[in-house]
A and B are shown apart, each in its own frame.
Chain A
């Protein structure tokens, strides 16, 4: 059984419950980025509720902060807070579980939401840890639509300049944003080449294949003279079936009762299939 593959489908159900109960969220990107988060939090990163204040911990900043539901689901399952609490309290009046990452919650390093902040912040984190001679690693996840923000490219430039080998950025490349395809909205004709030209190691991976993502993160660790960017090719809404996969409208669509049942059944089927792998 591929346990992490199973885990990714289980946590999508938590995301679905959170969004349907609260009546809001960004389900499409939540589902596309899930394997990236599961690979990081269950396989790659040295982070847990026990060591979350240790200076040697690995750092993660969710730059595409609107995918907070998937981030909350992962953190809850890893024990930073309770899954039941986050499902019940997400986006409710006065809740700490707000609709973008909130660093008043355990396990969340930085507030985000406005796009184009995570990479530059992680450069500061990576620089600080290198100054202190630490061997820990720093991760951020951006959306492909987010790459239109100029500050992202200030970040690519500076991380390359400083040869931050302890930094790994993931682009959750699901090809869709709120207005349509990224190709239509603001195209990056040769994304890998563009990032590579800033002094980065760039590798492509199937971002919804947990083993491929783990392999990409392992590859990043072998690069000693430059930062790594993983272009994670994902499907927006992955796991939700034909109803929501690759549909721009599902960027922040809230499923109806019928859709909820349909997605739940799809997730269950995929989870069971993974259990038999």
Chain B
């Protein structure tokens, strides 16, 4: 079945986007990501350790940029200025690669997005030629504004980053989906496979997660579960679920029973 996710003109057969943080080591990162089937992989941009350990392994030796679409994110940025600077460094680092995940955070306790700074940074990045996939809250008005501005994907939170609480307000996500003309990707909050499946059954275009896999007891096995959940949820969405009813409806004919 040809059912591709299109982001900024590029197509992907996997609808799972996965982070590379919080794994035990790079080998586990590589194995989990490979198992997940994800084609888009997020990374963070940070200061290089200097003065020691010249042979320290590098993430991009394990996650090959020729094989995966590397999505640098601005996680850890608490202002529009810092986020824009981070994206420019990422573009230089990745030889002109201009697809970025914009995430401007509001405070340490909730890591909730700071929307005023997010809007400002998105504007500036788009004007500078970046293709912006934007982390936002589950407010349908803000989501629409980010789309209208030219973001290539809008990524509302299911719940707080790293919380594993799942999709706390599916009604808001549904409102966002009803109006969207760009991919809507649930980003943050997924705790286990059923959370990811729910997002896809609702009609989301994809799911971005990290902790649910990295912090599972067996990350590689959870990566496999997520792959299947995303595929199952997507197929269920495309199949169209039966209506909910208040009373029973027999699956076997009630006539012709021997008496």
Binding partners A and B? no
Residues of chain B at the chain A interface (Cβ within 8 Å): none
